[in-house]
Structure 1
Amino acid sequence: MASNRLLTGASVRKASRNGSHKTTTAGLAPSYLQANLIILPSRYATDFRLLCARNPVPCPLLAESKTSGSWDAVKSWVDGLSGDEIISRFDIRRDAPKYMVYRDSKLVRFQCDDILNEWSEDHVAFFIGCSFSFESALADAELPPRHSVLRRNVPMYRTKISLCPAGVFTSGTYVVSMRPYRRSEIEAVRNITRPFTATHGEPLAWGWDAIQQLGITDIDQPEWGDTPLTLDGRPLGHSEGNEEEIPVFWGCGVTPQEAVMRAGLQGTIMAHAPGHMLVLDCRDWDIMEKPAEGMEEAEERM
């Protein structure tokens, strides 16, 4: 199986480029960060940076094109990491498994293999942190997300939580990803994912009542990704109220795609296909938030 060999960011990018891997990147290259892509005409770049700064949980900005039109070099927005340390020897136009292309905010190409013909010298690519990045830490703690075990795409949902507006981006809402866990596991899951602030951090909601609070219409009908399943393979909604099957929600990097679509932008816009991420060269530990001095000792005493 090809995915067994995809153990580094570089190997996933190479397989995506040559066509040998074109499915979800969930579970690939453990400990290597994965990034959501959004590629915009340069006139929208300043407003988009501001959107990310004002909404760091769903839109954590990792890097962007070094200059307009640059598809093989980035500048970093992560303290302590250079652009080359985040990713090197890459081609933004070909190194994600699948892409989406929008023209004047309408989808014109769905899950295409590359964006060579659409890319221009006026485009700026932004890398947004992805929650796939903390899944290896969950797996190491024997809490693997169910979708990665089943080789399915994580379910993602549109919510009613409004983003803080920025420039032309005035009507976006959070998108969330969901991973079910037992009630008894949620505290451990929160603790494991909390330090990953550059890739959405800890869950923002959990529990069966959170579905209505977030404004999710149907847990079994995600807007993106695959239907979530119970431990015995049924749609998750069939276990509503079951303490062994608690939906847990994180901020999701599809959020900026949704914000871009709602903004009605003009021109050609590109993005990764949901679940088909660009895998980077930096590692989990490069971006994990360090506890404040003395915090670990204080937590141990609690």
Structure 2
Amino acid sequence: MTPAQARARFRGGLVTPTAGWCDGATQANLITVPRAQAWDFLLFAQRNPKPCPVLDVLDAGAVTGPLMPDGDVRTDLPLYRVYVDGEQVAETPDVSEWWRADLVSFLIGCSFTFERALGSAGVPVRHVEQGVNVPMYRTSWRCREAGAVAGPLVVSMRWVPADLVATAVAVTARYPAVHGAPVHTGDPRELGIADLDSPDYGDPVRPEPGDVPVFWACGVTPQAAVVESRPPLAIAHAPGHMLITDARDDDHRI
């Protein structure tokens, strides 16, 4: 399936996490805020490039761009979340009714992009094997603030066999535009995470014997900042339900 075909299916109403979709196509997180708040969000991303690697920024009111020239950021993700004054008020497959001419959309790199490379290197991707969404957690680590925008680091977690952790680090380090190398391996308490079976976003994933938890910075971080910083309106992807772009994973490999 091509990215355009996938977007058409989502536009038609299909709701599903996108891990494993459109092999080799770059997936992106979405955060959309009014133009009055966009500079602070751009500065927040610049100051926190691990969780917020910017792939593109659309003009105010624009709904498409070079990463999906036939796409529409209002309809072409499988599921969205809408926030008003930092409170989630809707989860919907279409945000057209919320759209305004002053909204600026940021496309943020997604760690699903490097999962194909992990698999090719022999590193299992457990959430894909188990058919569930990747688990994500708010941490006690703070991002660097930018104007009115502040919030915690959010991480995604993948169980990795202990003897393949070094491989996973080396593979993902070659994708800095989509979060790059892990930020932590091992004890989740060092990140302020109390229970891996209770993710803040996504689904719990069952480890196999010999697996250890490995944590990557996550593009849901801007949503945690929305909750804390309370802009008047924000639109984002529902965690794990990404924008599939026409860009290729290898475009982001060094």
Tell me if both proteins adopt one fold, taking TM over 0.5 as the criterion.
yes
Aligned equivalents of 2:167, 2:5: Cα separation in 1: 31
Q: Does 1:198 align with 2:183?
A: no
How many matched pairs? 254
State the percentage of identical aligned residues. Answer: 43
Q: Does 1:57 align with 2:77?
A: no
TM-score by length of 2: 0.97
Structure 1 runs, 4 residues or longer, greater than 4 Å off:
none
Residue type of the alignment partner of 2:2: T
Partner of residue 247, structure 1: 213
Partner of residue 134, structure 2: 154
Partner of residue 278, structure 1: 243
Flag structure 2 segments of 5+ consecutive residues without an equivalent.
none
Structure 1, 187-196 or 138-147: larger mean CA deviation: 138-147
Residue type of the alignment partner of 2:153: Y
Decide whether the 8 Å contact of 2:52 with 2:222 is kept in 1.
yes
Work out which structure has the larger RCO, using CA pairs closer than 8 Å and 6 or more positions apart in sequence. 2
Q: Which digits, 9 at most, give the CA deviation of each residue in 1:77-127, with x for residues without a partner? A: xxxxxxx2x2211010000000001112111112x1100100110111110
Q: Does 1:265 align with 2:244?
A: no
Three-state SS of the structure 2 residue aligned to 1:124 is: strand
Q: Does 1:12 align with 2:6?
A: yes
CA-based RMSD = 1.1
Decide whether the 8 Å contact of 1:136 with 1:144 is kept in 2.
no
Q: Does 1:69 align with 2:35?
A: no
Q: Which digits, 9 at most, give the CA deviation of each residue in 1:236-262, with x for residues without a partner? A: xxxxxx6x0200000000001111210
Aligned equivalents of 1:180, 1:217: Cα separation in 2: 16
Decide whether the 8 Å contact of 2:84 with 2:230 is kept in 1.
no
Deviation of 1:14 (Å): 1.1
Deviation of 1:228 (Å): 1.6
Q: Does 1:181 align with 2:146?
A: no
Partner of residue 217, structure 1: 194
Aligned equivalents of 1:186, 1:8: Cα separation in 2: 31
Flag structure 1 segments of 5+ consecutive residues without an equivalent.
1-6, 74-83, 232-241, 290-302
Three-state SS of the structure 1 residue aligned to 2:246 is: strand
Deviation of 1:139 (Å): 1.5
Aligned equivalents of 1:94, 1:87: Cα separation in 2: 12
Q: Which digits, 9 at most, give the CA deviation of each residue in 1:177-222, with x for residues without a partner? A: 0000111000111111111100000111111x2x111000211100
TM-score by length of 1: 0.82
Q: Does 1:132 align with 2:112?
A: yes
Rg comparison, structure with higher value: 1
Three-state SS of the structure 1 residue aligned to 2:147 is: coil
Partner of residue 167, structure 1: 147
Deviation of 1:151 (Å): 1.2
Q: 2:28 aligns with which of 22, 25, 35?
A: 35
